Amino acid sequence: MYQQSNFQPFPDFTQPPPIIQQSFPPIDDSTIDKFLIDRNHLKIQRNEEIVFNHFGINSRDRLNVIQINLNNLIQQQQCEETNLRNNVAHIPPSVWEDKINLLKRNQMKIQQLLVKLETLSSEVNTTKTIKRKRRKKQKLKKPSQHIEPESASPKEVDKPLQKSQSSDLEESYEKYEVDRLRAANIKRINECKRQLKLLDSLIELRCIRRKSSHVGATSTASNEKYFIEKIDRLKSKWTDALTKCTSLENEIHMLSTQTVSKLWLDALFSNSESSVLEDDASDFNKLLDVRRSWDLCLVNDENVFGSSIPPGWVMPNPNPSAEWASFLVEQL
């Protein structure tokens, strides 16, 4: 195997590689300040003026630059230490001293950057806390402004309509239940009366048959007593049922009367909350007298004191129907 003298041999993997110089830009405060000055004084063409928070921008930029420089120094320090460990046997003493001094200087720079980073971070956090407290204080001092909507939303408009529809449905359902209960009760009352009448007819028929028959007196008396007792028990049961149905009919009548009174109260006074009206509502004559007295005091001038109807009362229709016309009186 021949080898030329000017031909470089293959790399020897049993020995460490040569030292590679890491080229990192020098870092100092002047470079950081120059970078920030150049960045914050760029001319930007805008149609309107833009207000910058220079403290926030400078603090944020300084933090970013310090972090970048710190990462570069740490990487450089790690590379230098790795090269020194791998080439301990091949580095001359003079070069070794220079490398150690370089590592010490980098270590000092790293410590200085860490101190700056910690100081600037605390300043930024303090500034954020002050601004947050200031905004909170201004928010508490600022009076609350309630903006009244110009017009009600469709949902707000539909709410009273839905309530009125639901109340109408409830009232119609209650009326239907009352009518159904009353119709069933009337059927039971008629059935009770029919059964009582039937029992009376049976007694009359028994008397007629007894007169026309020629059965012995002893057997006739015993049979008659048994028949009368049985009929009396049946009549007693049907009479009790008729009494219960009659009392239920009276309760239904009272309930319907109260419902009618409530309808009148709503028709004349609507949502008025006067307790006097509720007391007078028990008597229709008093209720109508109160309403007539107020209607007679109505005038066209709204500024006249005491001439307007109370809030919530229903205004009379100028062209009433025939049912309402009977309740109107002429103005004196």
Please compute Rg for the chain using Cα positions.
54
Which of 47-51, 203-207, 305-309, 310-314 has the highest average model confidence (pLDDT)?
Answer: 203-207
Residues in the chain: 332
CA distance 129 to 135: 10
pLDDT for 166 equals 66
Tell which residue, 10, 14, 13, 22, has the closest CA to residue 84: 22
pLDDT in tens, 121-174: 777 778 778 888 888 877 777 655 544 544 555 555 556 556 666 666 666 667
Q: How crowded is residue 277: how many other Cβ atoms within 10 Å of its Cβ?
A: 19
> Does the pLDDT of residue 236 top 80, yes or no?
yes
Q: What is the DSSP string of 134-150?
A: HHHHHHHHSPP--PPPS
pLDDT for 97 equals 80
pLDDT for 60 equals 67
> Does the pLDDT of residue 23 top 50, yes or no?
no
Which comes out higher in pLDDT, residue 228 or 219?
228
Which comes out higher in pLDDT, residue 323 or 185?
185
Mean pLDDT of 292-313: 60
pLDDT for 120 equals 77
Which of 5-14, 136-145, 191-200, 305-314 has the highest average model confidence (pLDDT)?
Answer: 191-200
pLDDT for 144 equals 53
Whether the CB-CB separation of 266 and 258 falls below 8 Å is answered with no
pLDDT for 52 equals 47
Q: Which pLDDT band, with edges at 50, 70 and 90, does 13 fall under? A: very low
Which comes out higher in pLDDT, residue 45 or 140?
140
> Does the pLDDT of residue 280 top 60, yes or no?
no
Average pLDDT over the chain reads 68
Q: Which pLDDT band, with edges at 50, 70 and 90, does 32 fall under? A: low
pLDDT in tens, 75-128: 777 777 787 777 777 777 777 788 788 878 878 888 887 888 788 777 777 877
pLDDT for 111 equals 81
